[in-house]
Chain A
């Protein structure tokens, strides 16, 4: 650096002054005008409804005589006592489905990111395209796939898989439909793309040279995966598991279409309380309990996974 450039740089600040000037009042308001419509929408149709639901959950009364806020917190305790098996079941099914999604989704995401070559875009399309076919139609298709004398069920029966799953209570006899296994299978299927896409995004960002470096240092493929690839894909694992677990815990479509009354999840209870039995306070309390459980679990999980900067 020569003396002349130094003096030039020292002389620069006065020239740059106009740029550093405080923006005009009108300009400072720009971000607020940009935010206003969307944020108002969210406040009115997302936050305010929560307030209304909170108020509904502490009301008592009947549909005929009307409901009144009586600060009846007992509803929460009663609702939880009556429906805790459904809560436990929801978390169990959603958790199992999330783990299965991770186990099934990881190889596919890895395949798309590193091994697919010119097939990459086609496979991505095949992962995304089902989003545009109604998921209800696809879930109904599972009724055919898992029907009593279908190929899949016959094969599982011949391989004596159903004996094992019946023994641990996932299936009943040689049936799959209307058992927990059918519901978990449907949940896994429905939320699998939500696992694959974040996994793929984080795997794709990994620099291929890191793999080469690991191999140069005599790491076996398994060690490379354990020490390099998997840790670097953690953001994808965390967001993928959240994107599958949260919606799966509140789902009632799979339990309704593929399950039986013994596989009802908390979503089914909330839905029938709100839309059939019309017991609004209980329904509101149940959905707040679900929200609280999910938020607590998610917060603990994000802390543990150590990716707070994720959100």
Chain B
């Protein structure tokens, strides 16, 4: 009893962690299911069928590749635009700074559905056809703020004397930026990019409003919740979870090794 009291925080924390991971466990377990009906909600029997043929469902892998493409270009767009804004905000003093800061903050402080609906209002009024481009435009828009926040945090904590030192050693502005500033800001830019990718890939609400007849992966999952969920969805979900863990762990190893080589 005393042991429980002393470790109350640890127990509560681990319970929360279990709550967070439980759905992922269920997704993984049910990727080995062989459901009898259209829906994969109740356990029937073990089967490897879905893993052997992940693209066996009509249109699913097409929607997956579309989502990956959109996420890739949204990440590129948002990271470039966001990094530029972040540098301008941290490194320069100019008149519109306050206004720019609040303009960046607003998209994060607004329910997603409000942005989704207003973009639809714009596209409808302008007579723009909904599809790949409207989705991409929307994704770059909402990822932008998150990149700015991530890069800003990193650049703010960076010692300006490092750049001064580079200049003292006769590095030109371009050389200083490429050799000193960019490597230091890189982790911030990387986490902004990673966040954009995840947000864009996973976005449903804004995409649902602005996709027209184009079907991204989340849209496909949404549709399948009404029509019937193929087991392959769980296979993709499990695979994405494993890939994400591997990517993050690999990133950790790389940064740890850098730290070690930097200290020796």
- Which single residue of chain B is at the shortest CB-CB distance from A294? B111
Total contacts A-B at CB 8 Å: 256
Q: Size range of the interface on A?
A: 35 or more
Do the beta carbons of B17 and A144 come within 8 Å of each other? no
Contact residues of A: prevailing secondary structure: helix
Judged by a CB distance under 8 angstroms, whether A108 is at the interface is yes
User: Is A238 close to B, CB under 8 A?
Assistant: no
Which B residues touch A46, using CB under 8 A? Answer: 103, 106-107, 115, 141
B46 within 8 A of A: no
State the majority secondary structure of interface residues on B: helix
Assuming the contacts A108-B16, A130-B20, A138-B27, asked whether A291 and B111 have C-beta atoms less than 8 A apart, the reply is yes
- Chain B nearest CB, measured from A239 CB (Å): 10
Residue A18, interface by CB 8 Å: no
Report A-chain residues with C-beta under 8 Å of the C-beta of B84.
34-35, 37-38
Given contacts A131-B202, A132-B240, A144-B26, A50 and B248 within 8 Å (CB-CB): no
Residue from the list B14, B92, B148 in contact with A31, Cβ < 8 A: B92
B245 CB, min distance to chain A CBs, angstroms: 5
Interface residues of B in 86-130 (CB under 8 A from A): 87-88, 91-92, 94, 96, 100-107, 109-115, 117-122, 124-125
Can you give 23 contacting A-B residue pairs, CB < 8 Å? A30-B92, A38-B81, A41-B81, A42-B141, A45-B140, A46-B103, A46-B115, A49-B115, A49-B118, A108-B13, A111-B9, A111-B14, A125-B245, A126-B245, A133-B238, A134-B221, A134-B236, A144-B26, A144-B41, A192-B19, A250-B205, A252-B205, A267-B111
Q: Which B residues are within 8 Å of any A CB, using their own CB?
A: 9-10, 12-17, 19-24, 26-27, 30, 41-42, 81-82, 84-85, 87-88, 91-92, 94, 96, 100-107, 109-115, 117-122, 124-125, 137-138, 140-141, 144, 148, 198, 201-202, 204-205, 208-209, 217-218, 221-222, 225, 229, 233-234, 236-238, 240-241, 243-245, 248-249, 252
List the 9 closest pairs (A to B, CB-CB), nearest first. A250-B111, A111-B13, A132-B244, A31-B92, A107-B12, A38-B81, A49-B118, A34-B88, A141-B23
Q: Which A residues fall within an 8 A CB radius of B?
A: 30-32, 34-35, 37-39, 41-43, 45-50, 52-53, 55-56, 104-105, 107-112, 115, 121, 123, 125-145, 147, 189, 192-193, 196, 242, 246-247, 249-253, 257, 267, 270-271, 274-275, 280, 283-284, 287-288, 290-291, 294-295, 298, 311
